[in-house]
């Protein structure tokens, strides 16, 4: 147990942990850097992360677990079944079950003596973040076990079966079988605290009582990169024109083609400009649509950009258009808000929660593609005709982002959760609202 002012001693489990890999690996890395300001951390991660972590020279105590004997062949098989790494996420998760259990067994073998000797106060698994991936250690740990932030369990909207097929997500229907896998029940029965990202994930964790759930999104942002310092308010950044943008992988579930349909059907929007940042398998479809509807003068495909370049674009453009129909975390929403943009998204999953279902951005009701495109068209036209409203929504989003989501804030809150666990206090004061 923590005593006096001594920092809590935390064993972090982070199979996915890499400063140069996008999505969960870099999120976990940034999260741990902030946790290290408040705790004495030891991080157990996979040996595949060693090269990039050593290159980064992060001031972290890292132990590498090598289970490549099973992880490498399973990864190759998953990649073959997916046809690459852009689509088929459910296939990847299924194929990762055995390698991940092997990873935690390796951690247990390495740290069992220290855990039983009381050299750690808490074990905290931060990746993987999917609730479908159970923990081998949860029921064995002699100290409190924390898991999360978890994020998952967002159903495919029934109106988008074609996009689900293009994403190769046919195995999504098997998802709930995870509850019958070895260690699934004990993971949630024995966890002291389950950090839970969004409402869709909380609804899936029916085994966990409210007093052990702390609502805590996994996403965060670096204010040194994402900020609006010196930028004009939303609605004034493009002069006479409103500048819209989309940034992300051009994959089916993000519907990057949808804002093109909104522009094609609106004389008002054709007088503005849409910038699309990113690359992916939908690019050729989008280029064909632009050519077929003569959108070359008002839509530009900007290609893939670095994180810093995306932030610059966010400060230059007024409105971020994000029509993703199955977004679990949506870190880009918070990054956009931090840059003072007016957010237009689908009122489903993380984007709907982050925009307060319309309180700090436009959250368009989920509908089949044609109706959804019409909803976005109306919201985008309003952003042109009512720029004061656009600026007010952008300001509300910016205030929300800076209050709760800088990495420093998330690290501090997690440290408070650790203290509450060790002191027997209520953890709910640190929950995100």
pLDDT at 171: 56
d(CA 67, CA 102): 7
Both structure tokens of 130: 């999917």
pLDDT at 170: 62
Residue pLDDT, tens place only, 248-291: 999 999 999 999 999 999 999 999 999 999 999 999 999 999 99
pLDDT at 161: 76
Residue pLDDT, tens place only, 95-132: 678 888 999 999 999 999 999 999 999 999 999 988 88
The answer to whether residues 21 and 51 touch, using CB atoms and an 8 Å cutoff, is: no
Which candidate, 386, 397, 384, places its Cα nearest to that of 244?
384
Q: Where in the chain is the domain with CATH 3.40.50.2000?
A: 9-220+406-430, 243-404
The answer to whether residues 385 and 373 touch, using CB atoms and an 8 Å cutoff, is: no
pLDDT classification of 2: cutoffs 50, 70, 90: very low
pLDDT at 98: 84
Residue pLDDT, tens place only, 75-99: 676 566 555 555 445 555 666 788 8
**Domain spanning 9-220+406-430, CATH class:** alpha beta
Positive or negative, the Cα torsion across 219, 48, 415, 213? positive
Number of H helices, E strands in the chain: 17, 13
d(CA 139, CA 191): 8
CATH number for the segment(s) 243-404: 3.40.50.2000
pLDDT classification of 1: cutoffs 50, 70, 90: very low
SS3 assignment, position 292 = helix
8-state DSSP, 49: G
Beta bridge partners of 127: 14
pLDDT classification of 172: cutoffs 50, 70, 90: low
The answer to whether residues 315 and 333 touch, using CB atoms and an 8 Å cutoff, is: no
Alpha carbons within 13 angstroms on the beta-carbon side of residue 71 total 17
pLDDT above 50 for 413: yes
Query: For the chain, how big is the Rg over CA atoms in Å?
Result: 22
- Whole-structure pTM over 0.85, yes or no? yes
Phi, psi of 229 (to 5 degrees): -55, 120
| DSSP-assigned states of every residue in 399-412 | HHHHHH-BHHHHHH
d(CA 348, CA 318): 22
Averaged confidence pLDDT in the chain: 91
pLDDT at 99: 86
């Amino acid at each position: 147990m923590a005593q006096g002012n001594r920092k809590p001693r935390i064993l972090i489990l982070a199979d996915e942990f890499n400063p140069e890999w996008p999505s969960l690996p870099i999120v976990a890395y940034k999260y741990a850097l902030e946790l290290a300001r408040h705790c004495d951390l030891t991080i157990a991660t996979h040996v595949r992360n060693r090269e990039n972590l050593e290159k980064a020279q992060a001031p972290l105590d890292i132990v590498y677990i090598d289970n490549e004997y099973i992880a490498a062949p399973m990864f190759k098989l998953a990649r073959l079944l997916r046809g690459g790494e852009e689509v088929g996420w459910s296939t990847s998760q299924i194929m990762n079950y055995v390698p991940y259990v092997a990873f935690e067994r390796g951690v247990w073998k390495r740290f069992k003596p220290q855990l039983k000797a009381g050299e750690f106060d808490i074990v905290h698994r931060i990746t993987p973040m999917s609730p479908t991936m159970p923990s081998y250690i949860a029921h064995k740990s002699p100290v409190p076990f924390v898991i999360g932030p978890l994020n998952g369990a967002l159903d495919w909207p029934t109106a988008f079966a074609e996009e689900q097929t293009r994403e190769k997500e046919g195995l999504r229907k098997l998802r709930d079988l995870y509850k019958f896998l070895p260690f699934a029940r004990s993971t949630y029965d024995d966890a002291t605290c389950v950090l839970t990202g969004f409402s869709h994930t909380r609804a899936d964790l029916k085994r966990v009582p409210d007093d052990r759930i702390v609502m805590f999104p996994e996403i965060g942002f670096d204010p040194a990169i994402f900020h609006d310092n010196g930028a004009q308010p939303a609605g004034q950044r493009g002069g006479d024109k409103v500048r819209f943008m989309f940034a992300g992988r051009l994959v089916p579930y993000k519907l990057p083609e949808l804002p093109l349909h909104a522009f094609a059907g609106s004389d008002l929007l054709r007088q503005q400009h849409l910038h699309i940042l990113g690359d992916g398998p939908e690019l050729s479809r989008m280029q064909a649509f632009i050519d077929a509807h003569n959108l070359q003068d008002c839509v530009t495909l900007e290609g893939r950009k670095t994180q810093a370049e995306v932030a610059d674009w966010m400060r230059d453009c007024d409105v971020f258009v994000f029509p993703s129909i199955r977004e679990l975390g949506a870190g880009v929403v918070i990054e956009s808000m931090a840059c003072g943009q007016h957010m237009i998204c689908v009122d489903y999953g993380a984007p709907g929660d982050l925009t307060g279902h319309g309180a700090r951005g436009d959250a368009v009701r989920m509908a089949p593609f044609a109706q959804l495109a019409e909803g976005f068209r109306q919201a985008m036209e309003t952003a042109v005709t009512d720029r004061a409203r656009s600026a007010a929504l952008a300001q509300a989003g910016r205030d929300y982002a800076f209050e709760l989501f800088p990495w420093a804030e998330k690290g501090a809150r997690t440290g408070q959760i650790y203290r509450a666990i060790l002191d027997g206090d209520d953890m709910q004061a640190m929950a995100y609202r």
